[in-house]
Amino acid sequence: MIIAAAYIGIEQDYLFSMPVFEVSKSRYGSRPFVEALEIADYIHGRTSPADRIGVLGSEPEIYFYANRIAATGYIYVYALLERQKYAIRMQEQMVDELNASRPKYVVFVDIQDSWLGAPGQTFKPDEKFLSWSKRYLRDCYELAGIADIPPSGPATFVWENVAAYRPRSKSIVYTYRSRTDTPCSVSINY
């Protein structure tokens, strides 16, 4: 009981008075856990339960919060980018699934931790996969929103006049909307 009371005394700001974005930043850095709620809400309000969505990054909570089905079986990219013998095949499979399912929205998480996995990992995201991601979004989607996540303080969300906005931080989550209902396919070349 004394230990619990001491802990509560030491951590009282964290436990009782810190805004949720500060708690998240203090524990998880730039990972967009809090921002995922607003992004998912935006997508949920513009899609039907039958629509599929995609996330290029490692934020599977967006599928859950949006209550929408993933366009691919790969709900996060860590395993696709690890140095292991199936990585390229897994990337190709994700690309094939995204091309085939034509998600109505795709979220691209431009935050290093979303692509690298566990802290301290030294590998870099596969440049071909990142290059494919950017081509796929450029050719098949239009920018619909930006979450600009500063090192401290709440994120700035931009859902209108998105093309004119210039992000100020290094941690950004982009939300893209499909340009049409017609098929759009971008291959990956290894």
Residue, of 113 and 74, whose pLDDT is higher: 74
Tell which residue, 181, 172, 164, 177, has the closest CA to residue 43: 177
Q: What pLDDT is attached to residue 30?
A: 75
Whether 13 maps to a domain, the answer reads no
State mean pLDDT over 1-13.
61
Domain count, the chain: 1
Whether 103 and 52 have beta carbons less than 8 Å apart is answered as yes
Whether 54 maps to a domain, the answer reads yes
Whether 20 maps to a domain, the answer reads no
Residue 38 has pLDDT above 90, yes or no: yes
Of the pLDDT bands very low, low, confident and very high (cuts 50, 70, 90), residue 33 is confident
Tell which residue, 16, 110, 99, 2, has the closest CA to residue 52: 99
Structure tokens at 57: 């990054």
The tens digit of pLDDT for each residue in 88-117 reads: 999 999 999 999 999 999 999 999 888 875
Structure tokens at 9: 């005394």
Tell which residue, 106, 98, 108, has the closest CA to residue 183: 98
The CA-CA-CA angle for residues 109, 111, 113, to 5°, reads 115
What is the extent of the structural domain holding 104?
Answer: 27-178
Question: The pTM is what?
Answer: 0.85
Whether 17 maps to a domain, the answer reads no
Mean pLDDT computed over every residue of the chain: 86
Q: What pLDDT is attached to residue 16?
A: 53
The alpha carbon of 118 is separated from its chain's Cα centroid by a whole number of angstroms, namely: 16
